[in-house]
Amino acid sequence: MLATVQSSALQGVDATLVEVEVDLGRGLPQLSIVGLPEAAVRESRERVRSAIRNSGYPFPAERTTINLAPADVRKEGSAYDLPIALGLLAASGTVPPERLAGQVIVGELSLDGRVKPVRGALAIADATAALGIRRLLIPAANALEAALVSSVEVYGVSSLGEAVEFLLERRALARCEVDASQWLNTALGAAGDLAEVHGQQHAKRALEIAAAGGHNLLLVGPPGAGKTMLARRIAGILPTPTLAEAIEITKIHSVAGLLHGEPMLAARPFRAPHHTISAAGLVGGGPGPRPGEVTLAHHGVLFLDELPEFPRHALEALRQPMEERRITVSRAQGSLRFPANFTLIAAMNPCPCGFFGDPRRACLCSEPEVRRYRRRISGPLLDRIDLHVEAPAVAPAELRGSPNGESSAEVRRRVSAARARQLERFAGRGIFYNALMSPRELRRHCALDDDSERVLQTAVERLGLSARSYGRVLRIARTVADLSGEPRIGAGHVAEAVQYRPLEGLPCF
């Protein structure tokens, strides 16, 4: 007898339909799984066998073939346990096969029949809705997450027996529903307040501009100047994500298995990988490509501390996603596209010893050593970083006093207002903030008056700005104007934007 169950496979950060076909035929008792299964899928034979028997149902004694179609798509993970078990019970007559139609089923089984959570529940629910399928049977631990897709009827089950009783209509399960908008108000507070940072007013202002316009930022200064402390406080001044952004963030982290039981992530991600990370870990990849740190930082911040210590090839792999806001990972089996719309915050010392340009500590590095250290970061990568800011050592007098700067809440209000202006300006164009403006958008929204044009032309001549840097100055100036609530860019906005471009000979290049 043949039974078919619809399930799903993850491909990148999306999901696709998989048909689990179970056939019972004559021959010695044997269970074979075909359809390009990897090790965890092949091992499901033993989990399913034990789960069916320990749940009180007979395990088929015939020759059994399980096909996972389409056969040319690699099947990974343990989410096929529950559909395979229900397919076996349907093929053997325990469950009428027609009861399995019109729904997608996923779930991992323990040996005693309990249903364990799986990765990518939200992506699976999205794919279910896109295919026009109305019902999704999923582990109870994933039900709230999947219910974020309101067009699908989501039912959470906690055991194989419960799933069988539900399909036989002997037990009623409540449809899982959730108000996604309520989760946006549950974001955790920032780990620290910007007011706790002594001094560094120039760097704080740059951090505000970076948060408001989505601009990449490089902080350069000696050890202990507060670069890392500043960077980590950007989480407290970023605006709350929109509902669409929060669902996209949740979907990515669900596929990566990083939700940790939360049905939805209401805060923007802040990712800070160690400098020993590989290129695949940073931009994504592996045998079955998984999202990297640039994708996990989507709609949030990627913080790279000690930037020159990262492998050169890993840093160079950032150049394309920084420009295109996505990353394409190609393998022999095909290509997968991952979103990568992140803001890069990087920090580094000006030289190997860290004290180049410090008026109180002598630098112990030779000039060739300083040059070699800085050459670890290529010019094209530096050119893609909008804001280059020096963070000098804080004077002892400032450390002894109480911090008197603005709080994160005050700065966040300005940042949120500036982001709101940008969302209104770019409504319907797929642009979220100024850093994403195309050349056409630059011409439309960054028109300069005569005074502003003179300031910018002078800067281009003296600093030798590239065409890319010219556009970045305009984008920064637009953000500065938005923070001021000004509809047009003025000479003062351009002058401030120019300050954040690198100058040869200074610690910040």
Answer yes or no: is pLDDT of 271 > 60: yes
Answer yes or no: is pLDDT of 185 > 70: no
Task: Name the pLDDT band for 268 (thresholds 50, 70, 90).
Answer: very high
Burial class (CB in 10 A: 0-12, 13-18, 19+), 49: middle
HEC-encoded secondary structure of 232-289: HHHHHCCCCCCHHHHHHHHHHHHHCCCCCCCCCCCCCCEECCCCCCCHHHHHCECCCC
Say how many C-beta atoms besides its own lie within 10 A of residue 213's C-beta: 27
Task: Name the pLDDT band for 297 (thresholds 50, 70, 90).
Answer: very high
- Distance from C-alpha of 21 to C-alpha of 471, rounded to nearest angstrom: 56
Answer yes or no: is pLDDT of 505 > 70: no
Q: Which of 55-59, 112-116, 175-179, 261-265 has the lowest mean pLDDT?
A: 261-265
Any alpha helices (H) in 349-466, and if so which ranges?
Answer: 367-374, 379-383, 396-400, 408-425, 439-445, 450-463
Task: Name the pLDDT band for 464 (thresholds 50, 70, 90).
Answer: confident
The confidence score (pLDDT) of residue 295 equals 96
The confidence score (pLDDT) of residue 469 equals 83
Task: Name the pLDDT band for 506 (thresholds 50, 70, 90).
Answer: very low
Give 476-490 pLDDT, tens digit per residue: 999 999 999 999 999
Per-residue pLDDT averaged across 126-138, rounded? Answer: 95
The confidence score (pLDDT) of residue 190 equals 53
Domain ranges across the chain: 2-178, 186-425
Query: Token pair for residue 503?
Result: 């100058």
Query: Token pair for residue 197?
Result: 């940072």
Which helix or strand (DSSP H or E) is residue 474 part of? helix 467-484
Tell me if domain 2-178 and domain 186-425 are identical in fold: no
The residue assigned the tokens 């400032």 is: 398
Q: Which residue has the higher pLDDT, 218 or 1?
A: 218
Per-residue pLDDT averaged across 151-167, rounded? Answer: 96
Query: Token pair for residue 24?
Result: 């019972």
What 3-state DSSP class applies to 344?
strand
Q: Which residue has the higher pLDDT, 128 or 334?
A: 128
Per-residue pLDDT averaged across 465-484, rounded? Answer: 90
Q: What is the CATH number of domain 2-178?
A: 3.30.230.10
Say how many C-beta atoms besides its own lie within 10 A of residue 467's C-beta: 10
Q: Which residue has the higher pLDDT, 394 or 153?
A: 153
Q: Torsions phi, psi of 152, nearest 5?
A: -115, 135
Please give the share of the chain, as a percent, with pLDDT higher than 70: 96
Task: Name the pLDDT band for 504 (thresholds 50, 70, 90).
Answer: very low
CATH class of the structural domain 186-425: alpha beta
Q: CA angle, corner 130, sides to 129 and 133, nearest 5?
A: 50
What 3-state DSSP class applies to 74?
coil
Residue (of 201, 196, 207) closest to 231 by Cα position:
207
Answer yes or no: is pLDDT of 494 > 90: yes
- Distance from C-alpha of 459 to C-alpha of 263, rounded to nearest angstrom: 49
Give 222-260 pLDDT, tens digit per residue: 998 889 999 999 988 999 898 889 999 999 999 999 988
Answer yes or no: is pLDDT of 263 > 70: yes
Give 417-437 pLDDT, tens digit per residue: 999 999 999 887 878 889 999
Give 53-106 pLDDT, tens digit per residue: 999 999 998 999 999 999 988 899 999 999 999 999 999 999 999 999 999 999
State the pTM of this model. Answer: 0.90
